[in-house]
């Protein structure tokens, strides 16, 4: 049986022009996402992590043609979404929905809660009657924890957590098969983050949703994901089942990200081995040769500058020429 989503060699490139360039000057290219591949089964969650600028959000937008992309994005093993025109893509947009990072900015301030949640139904299912829309909106509000008397309020009257619940209700009202969550809890307080994540997990169990969950916080991703993919400068560094990646991360970048996650036990926090990230993220306009992570890696060797590492294990995919735990001697 084919995966719900099968992505192969997804790449997103932007042409960059500078002030003062002559009309005949070829634009420079920014490779925001390069050769990303993964599979996603129905009812499963893929967590996507990495620093700001690693290409997480751009990858998600490329999957559904919000930005131009190349490669193959096979939906249910039948249709390459990247080959579709905007008109032919429209029926698939109700099956793939997004929840965005800023809950308030993603809602129209001139529309009431009821209008916001029902808008996708009017767009994708105009045959649904007004009475049926009201019924579905009321059911969805109850499901995401919003009170019925809130239906005529405007977004500015809600808290950040409530606005994110509205965004989730709006995305789910058309009963999608895939929900892409682009850092949906990063703008929320920690206690509200936990509530939204538990809501997403509950909805996934009830509706059989597949999810792509993008975040900076590896502890958040661990709580909700089945598989985890680590991106750096638009490339996949490591991709593995959650249990394997957290128990035995193989890529130095993954190990550095995990070492930065604070532990609740003060003694364990003091005793843990920190793996530093050297310097800053390179410019995607001029990525390093060979392994793109080599300029910040504590284990970088001469061959890292010459050879582009490719994953070999189909289950625990690691793009590193020298994988394995970082030794204490390498940190001195």
Show the domains of the chain with their CATH numbers. Answer: 5-95+176-331 (3.40.50.300)
Decide the pairing of beta strands 178-182 and 96-99.
Answer: parallel
The confidence band for 152, taking pLDDT boundaries of 50, 70 and 90, is very high
Concatenate the DSSP letters of all residues of 191-217 into one string: HHHHHHHHHHHHHHHHHT-EEEEEES-
Instruction: Give dist(CA 183, CA 172) in Å, integer.
Output: 17
**155-205 residue pLDDT tens:** 999 988 899 999 999 999 999 999 999 988 887 788 888 888 999 999 999
Concatenate the DSSP letters of all residues of 55-104 into one string: SHHHHHHHHTTSS--EEEEEETTTEEGGG--HHHHHHHHTTEEEE-S-TT
pLDDT over threshold 80, residue 331: no
pTM of the model: 0.91
**103-115 residue pLDDT tens:** 888 899 999 999 9
Instruction: Give dist(CA 320, CA 78) in Å, integer.
Output: 33
**208-248 residue pLDDT tens:** 999 999 998 888 899 899 999 999 999 999 999 999 999 99
Q: Which residue has the higher pLDDT, 65 or 268?
A: 65
């Amino acid at each position: 049986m084919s995966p719900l989503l099968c992505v192969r060699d997804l790449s997103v490139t932007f042409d960059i022009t500078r002030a003062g360039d002559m009309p005949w000057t070829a634009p420079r290219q920014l490779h925001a996402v390069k050769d990303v591949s993964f599979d996603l089964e129905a009812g499963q969650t893929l967590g996507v992590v990495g620093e700001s600028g690693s290409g997480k959000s751009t990858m998600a937008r490329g999957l559904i043609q919000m930005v131009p992309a190349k490669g193959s994005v096979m939906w249910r093993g039948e249709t390459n979404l990247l080959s579709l025109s905007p008109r032919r893509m429209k029926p698939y947009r109700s099956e793939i929905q997004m929840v965005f990072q800023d809950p308030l900015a993603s809602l129209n301030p001139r529309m009431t809660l009821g209008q916001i949640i029902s808008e996708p139904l009017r767009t994708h299912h105009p045959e649904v009657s007004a009475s049926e829309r009201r019924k579905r909106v009321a059911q969805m509000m109850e499901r995401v924890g919003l009170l019925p008397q809130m239906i005529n309020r405007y977004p500015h009257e809600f808290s950040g957590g409530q606005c994110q619940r509205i965004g989730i209700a709006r995305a789910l009202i058309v009963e999608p098969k895939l929900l892409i969550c682009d850092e949906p809890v990063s703008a929320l307080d920690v206690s509200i983050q936990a509530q939204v994540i538990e809501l997403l997990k509950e909805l996934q169990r009830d509706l059989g949703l597949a999810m792509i969950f993008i975040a900076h916080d590896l502890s958040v991703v661990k709580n909700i994901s089945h598989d985890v993919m680590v991106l750096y400068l638009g490339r996949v560094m490591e991709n593995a089942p959650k249990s394997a990646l957290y128990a035995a991360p193989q890529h130095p970048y993954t190990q550095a990200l995990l070492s930065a996650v604070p532990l609740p036990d003060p003694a364990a926090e003091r005793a843990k081995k920190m793996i530093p990230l050297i310097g800053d993220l390179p410019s995607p306009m001029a990525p390093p040769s060979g392994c793109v992570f080599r300029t910040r890696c504590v284990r970088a060797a001469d061959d890292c500058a010459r050879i582009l590492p490719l994953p070999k294990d189909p289950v625990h995919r690691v793009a590193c020429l020298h994988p394995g735990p970082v030794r204490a001697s390498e940190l001195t």
